[in-house]
Each structure stands twice: as C-alpha cells, then as structure tokens.
Amino acid sequence: MRGQKGMRVTTKKAKRKQKMLYRPVGLLLGLAGGALASSLFGKAWAAVGRGSDAPDALDEDRSWREVLIAAALQGAIFATVRAAVDRGGATGVRKLTGTWPSDH
C-alpha cells in the first residue's frame, strides 16, 4: 500500500513483524561490528606507539593520561563502527524490503 509521496505505508502489525525479523540480523551485525572495532582499536593503539597492550583502567602501572587516551580512542572507534554497521544494516533492509527498520 502506498501513501502520499509514493512511500510504502505499513501497519503496526507489519512493523512489529519487521522488527522481529531484523532483530537477529542486528545481533549478528553487532557481533561482527564489535569484532571489527576491537581489531581496529588494537591496530590504532599499536600505531600511536603505545605498545600492543592497551591499558586497563585498573592497571596500576599505567598513567591516568595513558588510560584516558586509550578509553577515548576506543570509544570513538567503537561508536563509529557501530554507527556504520547500524546504518549499513538499515540500508540493506530497505533495499530488500522497501522499508526502513525503526524502533518506533
């Protein structure tokens, strides 16, 4: 069914079904994105010359500065990868189904 500007109109029941179908896809994409982000963070940390092991917040031998830099870098990488994976997944769903997955 199409509404005003040629957009597909979906019922609440159809949206619920789409959401349920997208959930496992989103979970798999999230796991793959987490693995990718972890790998990218390890490479980025090594590239900034800080060694292969990123500091843990409770690592007594590491400085505050080093711990906070690692946390900021890790957060930026994980957030960027998550946004890219979520957006890519939603775009793929739209190409397959003609509708955008939504939490609404």
User: pTM (2 decimals)?
Assistant: 0.75
Digit-coded pLDDT (tens) for 73-100: 999 999 999 999 999 988 988 888 888 8
pLDDT recorded at residue 101: 80
Average pLDDT for 2-7:
53
User: Where do runs of H (alpha helix) occur along the chain?
Assistant: 12-47, 64-97
Per the DSSP assignment, residues forming a β-bridge with 8 are 2
pLDDT recorded at residue 1: 47
